[in-house]
Amino acid sequence: MTSPSSESVLITVTGKDQPGITSRLTGLLAEAGAELLDVEQVVVRGRLTLCLLARLSGDAGAVLEPLVAAAKSLGVTLDFEPVHAPASEDGRGPRFVVTAVGRALGARELHALTQVLTAHGAQVERITRTSEPHLGSVDIHLALAAGQPPDALKQALLELSMQSGGFDVALQRESLFRRGKRMVVMDMDSTLIRIEVIDELARAHGVGEQVAAITERAMQGEMDYDESLRQRVSLLAGLDVSVVHQLAANLPLTEGAETLVRVLKRLGYRTAVISGGFSVAAEALKARLGIDVAHSNELEVRDGKLTGRTVGPIVNARRKAELLASLAQAEGIQLDQVVAVGDGANDLLMLERAGLGIAFRAKPKLRAAADTSISAGGLDTILFLLGLTGRELLELG
């Protein structure tokens, strides 16, 4: 056997997995005085791929021949190649993780995704399936060239997700805080629940069209949020408060909401609702799901009927961001450890303040501004963005 010219050798082992393969081969390397520089092992459907990067001392052939013989006796194939350059950063910049989540991810979806990564010079280092039992979620660990900003890649991934309609794609910086989040703050209307409470109340009071017209003017930038809320709430004057309570008792939850909050609570996360909606609904959700904190607008009630006014400061975009920061400070949680989820322009500042801002089934403008977005999946998709795997979720029950 010819000795490789480099003292560093990449040893690749493939074949049917069985106990003892890694132990046997690393034992031989240890006996030969080799220095193990790196190791990576994966088993897919009972098939093993094991990579060992070792720096050999003395006669490389004398080290590799026993490894080849051991591999043969174990029923696996061994290959090796010299590595002439030491492991280094190779000019790469920060590491990132792309998480793709869909009902099912096939060759077509992964081809489209990896095409985008290649076009933006991303070097894929590892792909891991995170869903169970089917291929519905993967983490792709990658590096960008040094000095290359991730914004262009983020935009391309957003466009891919919007075009596909079948899976969501998120780009996150690989850092200590990716799996170190401790608080999740959520909007309520069209986020935790599938409706806009004010629209339902307006229809019940016979003023649905008038309220919708004001909402449209606000969306077109013809009036600010505070004024639009005041005008819409004024149209609810005289509505019996029992209608509000009845609606709050039967709020339709968004897909995945119960799973998300249940898992977060099991893992010790703090949870909060910060909503421009109304406190009767927010407090009902808080009790129903076991959410820790709820902040929202309070409707004024006299003699069992709405007066058409709110009580206290309006929870607008700026107030939402302030409340998020205040909650994090009170809990001793860094903003990098906070996740914020929302669907509308009123959530933008809150999403920007959080370490991870997620636009959930939102308009294109918010999706483009947020750190990442979810459109195809439910709220429980967020759990994969936090670094959890399907196997871990099954263990939690």
Long-range contacts of range 195-203, CB-CB < 8 Å, 24 or more positions apart?
195/251, 195/252, 196/277, 197/247, 197/248, 197/251, 197/277, 197/278, 197/281, 198/232, 198/233, 198/236, 198/277, 198/278, 200/247, 201/236, 201/239, 201/243, 201/244, 201/247, 202/232, 202/235, 202/236
SS3 246: helix
Q: What is the pLDDT of residues 183-227, one digit of tens each?
A: 999 999 999 999 999 999 999 999 999 999 998 888 666 888 999
* Alpha carbons 19 and 40: distance in angstroms, whole number: 16
Q: Which of 17, 139, 168, 187 is catalytic?
A: 187
Q: Is 151 a catalytic residue?
A: no
- For the chain, residues classed under CATH 3.30.70.260 are 8-83, 95-173
- For the chain, residues classed under CATH 3.40.50.1000 are 183-396
Q: What is the pLDDT of residues 329-344, one digit of tens each?
A: 999 999 999 999 999 8
Give residue 5's pLDDT: 41
Q: Which of 189, 343, 347, 371 is catalytic?
A: 189
Q: What is the pLDDT of residues 89-103, one digit of tens each?
A: 555 568 899 999 988
The topology under which CATH files domain 183-396 is Rossmann fold (3.40.50)
Q: Give pTM, 2 decimals.
A: 0.85
Q: If you classify domain 95-173 with CATH, what class do you get? A: alpha beta
Give residue 92's pLDDT: 58
Q: Is 189 a catalytic residue?
A: yes
- Ranked by mean pLDDT, the top range of 24-38, 85-99, 146-160 is 24-38
The topology under which CATH files domain 8-83 is Alpha-Beta Plaits (3.30.70)
| Segment 350-356 mean pLDDT | 96
